Amino acid sequence: MAVKTASLVEANSEDYVTYLLSVFREETWLHDALRRWGAEERLHGEALAAWAHRVDPGFDFTERLARFREGYRLPLEATESVRGSRAGELLARCVVECGTSSYYSAIRDATEEPVLKQIAHLIAGDEFRHFKLFYDTLKKFDPQDSLGLFAKLKVTLSRVNETEDDELSFAFHCANNDPSIPYDREKSMLAYSKRAYRNYRYGHLARAISMMLKAVGLAPHGVIAQVTQRGAWWLWEKRARKLERIAA
């Protein structure tokens, strides 16, 4: 179920490319890289969907993706970043790539199915490269937008909190429920989170935290990193236990 959900989110990259090309319309030197990024994200979705169809021949990826795209839309009319600046937009993309790299690493290490393990391994590597793309680009924009540490932390925490927004919950609903079943955001989010949380180990979350700290300009290793990683893992385990109790 989690793999089907991921296939829809990854394959919806076309809208993200449209949005980013609008936000960075003057930075034509970045356009080809953004299009390549979007194409790779689309391939991730197709690879995950192919595996899901192999396990469940009744999974109609094209129909499910169309339903997801119809019900979940990005602000394609925007001409400025919803993060307040282009540097903020790039930082938010870094946060997303941190999360996806750790997510697919977690799936790779949790599954015993060899094909899914290989797919997740390759996607995790791509997502790490995508982090580097947005991080390197952020370094070019930072002198222009001069985001301070507080502003960077605000963007980072805001984007982390958005992991429980409608994108994932609605994708889970579309990927796993019959069209006749009404969308229940809370129920879908709980069902998705329960499956996602159980795959993680401390190292997966710790690596994501280190990458985020690097993106905001803090040392990815050391005392701050260790305290943040341990605190995040404590909250993660608490949330995972709560999800299991609710499911029971």
Whether 123 has a pLDDT exceeding 90, the answer reads: yes
pLDDT per residue over 76-97, tens digit each?
A: 888 888 888 889 999 999 999 9
Whether 34 has a pLDDT exceeding 90, the answer reads: yes
- CA dihedral over 156, 161, 164, 165, signed as positive or negative: negative
Quick one: pLDDT at residue 42? 95
Quick one: pLDDT at residue 145? 56
Quick one: pLDDT at residue 137? 93
Residue range 58-87: mean pLDDT, rounded = 89
Q: How confident is the model at residue 164 (pLDDT cuts 50, 70, 90)?
A: low
| Proportion of the chain above pLDDT 70, given as a percent | 96
| Proportion of the chain above pLDDT 90, given as a percent | 67
Residue range 58-79: mean pLDDT, rounded = 90
pTM beyond 0.85: yes
